[in-house]
Amino acid sequence: MAEPEVTAALPEATWVKVAEVGDLGDGRVRTVVAGTRSLALTNCGGTYGALDNRCPHQGGPLGEGSIERGLLRCPWHGYDYDPTTGEPPGAFSDRPESFPVEVRDDGVYVSIRPPAPHVRTVSDVMVETMVAWGITHVFGMVGHSNLGFADALRRQEEAGNLRYIGIRHEGAAAFAASAYGKLTGRPAAAFAIAGPGSTNLLTGLYDAKVDRSPVLAISGQVPSKVLGQGAFQDVDLTGAFADVARTSRTVLPGSDHAELVTLACKTAILDRDVAHLVLPDEVQVLPAPGVAASGPTGRVPDLAIAPPEAAVDEALALLATARRPVVIVGHGARFDMPDVLAVAEALDAPVLTTFKAKGQISDHHPLGAGVLGRSGTPVASWLMNECDLLVVFGASFSNHTGISPYKPTIQVDFDRMALGRFSPVTVPVLGHVGVTARTLLGRLGDGPADRVDQRADVADRWSIWRAEKARRVADDRGRGVSSAAVFDAMGRHVPADAVVTVDVGNNAYSFGRYFECREQSVLMSGYLGSIGFGFPAAMGAWAAAPDRPIVAVTGDGGFGQYLAELTTAVKFDMGITHVLLDNSELGKITKEQRAVEMEVWQTDLLNPDFAEYARLCGALGIRVESPDQLDTALAEALAHPGPALVHVLTDTNLL
């Protein structure tokens, strides 16, 4: 049977062909589409009828009903309607709208009136306010309880004001939005339906929350009149989001809708946190003619806060006597690195980074000492151990980084709660990282006469570490590729301006240890350490930085959680190069079980051929089984304009 002709929105009343003659047998009904109208087309004894497809009772799809005794019966609750006039039998009064039908030689036609002009809705006001606050990307899934808001998103996308990226699982939307915020400092939106769609957002939103990434989360909700009664998909979303979101508000018919969005955006940006709005179904389409959107003008202060004079004096006093100071930078210093580097240069001090700050200084910079801690290098740990003063910018002292609590420490952060978070520091300095660095630089003295220029130490330690890395790169037991070889090859091929997203597990540890950054940005799930982050984060990075190469690094366990998102990447033609290290197990957990002398149990994984899977999805897929195939595979994948997956079979014992 031929599909009915589907037309675009109609400018005026007109006849629209909806079916071929003979498509619809006697006593049958089916759904057809004309313009933006969905209709129930019926044939009763050769008499055709067309009714609005929405049953006036509760919106049941009449086109999926049946003809019984000459009446069209709604499939949901069995209400009957005359198939040509829509009249209900008996004393009932509700009737669906009916439309004239003509059967012509070339098909069945329905006369459709032009759609009524769009009346501005609450959702229009809210989406325009989001746009005014600079939200240009929405990751989400359109569904039953968010259609009114989705329609407003569509209008703004058609106006060129935002981009909507429809994902396959809401968890990916939240991770993508979190990564977007981590890279840019600006929020994207994650969008879901009521109930399960919104609860699927939670993990990615927690990732954003604990890593201080701004995200606006938007949930559809069941209609207000059934809210809280246990209706289908009725979940107390403000309760469910109370912990993960700095603010979670349900939008009511009488709310100041623009102001609620403004407060949510302001919270996300200024508190670097998750803000959440819940939109009951019927509120989304309430008319709001003449209601203006709002925006950030006059609502956001200058955040370049200068540090208190006394704290600066204390910091300078420590710096004046330090022979071997080192600078440690965290993710919170990512937008102020030129100022921080100027301080390091003036102190002749190495710059160590947390894992989340990897790449904020090149590993080839004369003062670049790489990552500190569990994912780090002996270069960084040696220099920290030898130092006599730590100068820490924008880092949060996680266990993973292991910043020594025993060294005198100056900590600079503009978040007052981050200062001395886990243990006391010698001089906590509250201030904007860039402003504070410039302030310190402007007043730095010469330091002690015996201050050490540590560039030679940095070079020496890198020389020792690179020799060791070369030995590990050469390791080959014939049971797969070593992680050192993978990241050594990536170091040769990944462009300097790339954004690299990493998952968790052995792949992430090895990436931190072996991959030498130039100017690449690195994104990861830091405090949450959530498996599955790597690939959806690459989607968020692609949206945030469309002109930069995007590289995802994952293990087989992590990518297994979001396999279907490869189809999203293909659909939107995302230029993501995905390097997948496949050891067919949750390798880090195997290691942990062995470390505490447990039996290795339930960490093995049954995997598909990921390269073949990529090709099935429409992406480029390349399989790498030996180290000599790495260079060709990476070069081909990085040159590919769309999504490409390099499936590397790795040796689980060569980390």
**What residues make contact with ligand FES under the rule CB under 6 A?**
55, 57-60, 74, 76-77, 79
Q: Which is nearer to ligand FES, 57 or 374 (CB)?
A: 57
**CB closer to ligand FES, 77 vs 594:** 77
DSSP state of 594: H
Q: Cα(first)–Cα(last) distance of the chain, in Å?
A: 58
Residue 112 CB burial class (10 angstroms; 0-12, 13-18, ≥19): buried
- Closest by CA to 376, choosing from 398, 355, 397, is 355
Alpha-carbon Rg of the chain, whole angstroms?
Answer: 30
Query: In terms of DSSP H, where are the helices of 161-289?
Result: 170-184, 196-199, 202-210, 237-240, 257-270, 281-284
Residue number, 94 or 625, with CB nearest to ligand FES:
94
Nearer to ligand FES, 28 or 77 (CB): 77
Q: Which is nearer to ligand FES, 60 or 195 (CB)?
A: 60
Q: Shortest approach of ligand FES to residue 74 CB, angstroms?
A: 3
Give least dist CB 78 to ligand FES, A.
Answer: 6
Distance (Å) of CA 441 to CA 34, 342, 532 = 69, 7, 41
DSSP strand pairing (368-371 vs 389-393): unpaired
CB of 52 to ligand FES, least distance (A): 12
CA distance 486 to 628: 10
Number of H helices, E strands in the chain: 21, 28
Question: Which residue is associated with the tokens 């900590």?
Answer: 411
Please provide the DSSP assignment of 123-186 as one string.
HHHHHHHHHHTT--EEEE---TT-HHHHHHHHHHHHTTS-EEEE-SSHHHHHHHHHHHHHHHSS
Interacting residues of 519 by C-beta distance below 8 A, sequence separation 6+ = 359, 362, 496, 497
Among candidates 10, 36, 31, which has minimal Cα distance to 19? 31
Q: How far is the CB of 94 from ligand FES (least distance, A)?
A: 9
User: Between 60 and 107, whose beta carbon lies closer to ligand FES?
Assistant: 60
Question: How many angstroms separate the CA atoms of 496 and 519, rounded?
Answer: 5
Shortest separation between residue 57's beta carbon and ligand FES, angstroms: 3
* Shortest Å distance, C-beta 230 to ligand FES: 20
CB of 62 to ligand FES, least distance (A): 7
Give 37 or 365: the residue with its C-beta nearer to ligand FES: 37
Question: What is the rounded CA–CA span in Å between residue 483 and residue 621?
Answer: 20
Residues 383, 348: contact at Cβ < 8 Å?
A: no
User: 99 near 230, Cβ under 8 Å?
Assistant: no
- The CA distance from 439 to 453, in Å, is 22
Of 55 and 361, the one with the shorter C-beta distance to ligand FES is 55
The dihedrals phi and psi of 498, each to the nearest 5 degrees, come to: -70, 160
Side chain identity at residue 371, one-letter code: V
Q: How far is Cα 147 from Cα 285, in angstroms, rounded to an integer? A: 9
Q: Which two tokens stand for residue 190?
A: 């994650």
Shortest spacing between CB 114 and ligand FES, in angstroms? 27
Q: Would you say 47 or 58 has its CB closer to ligand FES?
A: 58
Compare residues 97 and 476 and give the one whose CB is closer to ligand FES. Answer: 97
CB of 58 to ligand FES, least distance (A): 4
The H-or-E segment that residue 362 falls in is none
Q: Give the residue with the Cβ less far from ligand FES, 57 or 323.
A: 57
Nearer to ligand FES, 58 or 602 (CB): 58
**CA dihedral in degrees (457, 458, 462, 465; nearest 10)?**
60
Q: From the CB of 54, what's the least distance to ligand FES, in Å?
A: 8
Nearer residue to ligand FES within complex by CB, 56 or 558: 56
- Give me the least distance between CB of 56 and ligand FES, in Å please: 8
CB nearer ligand FES, residue 281 or residue 503: 281
Q: Minimum distance between the CB of residue 93 and ligand FES, rounded to whole angstroms? A: 14
Tell the smallest beta-carbon distance from residue 182 to ligand FES (Å). Answer: 45
Q: For tokens 């609750």, name the residue.
A: 77
CB count in 10 Å sphere of residue 320: 13
In angstroms, what is the minimal distance from the CB of 81 to ligand FES? 9
For residues 523 and 515, give the distance between their C-alpha atoms in angstroms, rounded to a whole number: 14
Neighbours of 421 (CB within 10 A): 15
Q: Mutual orientation of helices 483-493 and 506-514 as an angle, nearest 10°?
A: 50
Nearer to ligand FES, 59 or 405 (CB): 59
Least Å from the CB of residue 79 to ligand FES? 4
